[in-house]
Amino acid sequence: MSGPHSIVSGGTGLVGRFIVEALLAAGHRVTVIGRNAPREGLFSGAVAFAPMTLEPTSILTTLFEGADFFVHAAFDHLPGRYRGGEGDDAAGFRRRNLEGSIAMFRAARAAGVARTVFLSTRAVYGPRKPGAMLDETDACRPDTLYGEVKLAAEEALSQLSGDGFSGVSLRVTGVYGPAGTGRSHKWESLFEDYLSGREITPRIATEVHGEDVGSAVRILLTSPAEKIASGLFNVSDLTLDRSELLALVARETGSENPLPPAADRDAVNAMKTERLRALGWAPGGWALLERSVPLLLGRR
């Protein structure tokens, strides 16, 4: 089978699954590495699997031999939690997610992998004044261990870049989309609460569909080196109010339950994405959200 060989850590997760699908669609041969093999039918095409944990001492260069690209999407945290995902084991959280990530970057470079894309987060920016945009050139001041660890991993990848190895970090906002058979999507409990008539707390946040994250990864793996020299790219699409999202749910289901009040849109810290768009990235916007809501409700 022809095509580049890409290794994806965390490929069975919500975001990782979209990345694997994007690479399969682009003709890549994909190896997923992680604690558990993908269950049958998770992906639309065949993928290879190699066992891996984020414990630094378990990561070997041989894991990456023969690969062209590495996408690091794995992250060890308490279920459903990123901020605060360390629970009562901050040292283990840092060891696995920072030291483990650095060990993987080093192993990939030593094995001759040409390019690595690291899934980072908007949490690296830390608090900002209400309404301030988040720009890749901003100084970062994370206020959570999650953001600190991701930022330190970004910096380590940047320092390793050079001599035929290039590293790129994607600062990704909240990701939505179907979670795969047998799994819950991020808004499942919100939809259930609304349809059951429970009171909904107002909230507004930035969002991006998993398919658009996969598209961003694919673009950054194959763009000329001089076009990704900055090494940092924001990934965000919509500024979405719960009242807007649940209005789509109401339209699809016929529910007449009251919508929550709109949150303060002017206070949102949206993300600048001009760097990524300049490479040809074009997220799906509102139209993709509208197409997604029926799928998330299990109606199509």
Percent of the chain with pLDDT over 90: 84
The answer to the question of residue 273 being in a domain is: no
CA 243 to chain centre: 24
> CA 80 → CA 84, 150, 152, 185, 260, distances in Å?
10, 17, 22, 11, 24
Cα(249)–Cα(195) distance, rounded to whole angstroms? 9
What do you get for the CA distance between the two ends of the chain, in Å? Answer: 33
β-pairing, 48-51 vs 204-209, is unpaired
Residue 269 domain flag:
no
Residue 42 Ramachandran class (φ > 0 left, ψ -120 to 50 alpha, else beta): alpha
Residue-wise pLDDT for 200-241, tens only, equals 999 999 999 999 999 999 999 999 999 999 999 999 999 999
User: Residue 135 falls within a domain, yes or no?
Assistant: yes
When pLDDT is averaged across residues 165-187 and rounded to a whole number, the result is: 92
Residue 15 in any domain: the answer is: yes
Task: Read off the pTM.
Answer: 0.95
Asked if residue 203 belongs to a domain, the reply is no
90: pLDDT confidence band, cut at 50, 70 and 90? Answer: confident
Q: Is residue 249 part of a domain?
A: no
pLDDT number for residue 79: 54
Does residue 112 form part of some domain? yes
CATH number of the domain at 130, please: 3.40.50.720
Residue 23 sits in which domain range? 5-177+210-235
Q: Report pLDDT for 41.
A: 86
Both structure tokens of 32: 């997923």
pLDDT band at 181 (very low <50, low <70, confident <90, very high): confident
Number of structural domains found in the chain: 1
Q: How high is the pLDDT of residue 268?
A: 97
- Residue 120 located in a structural domain: yes
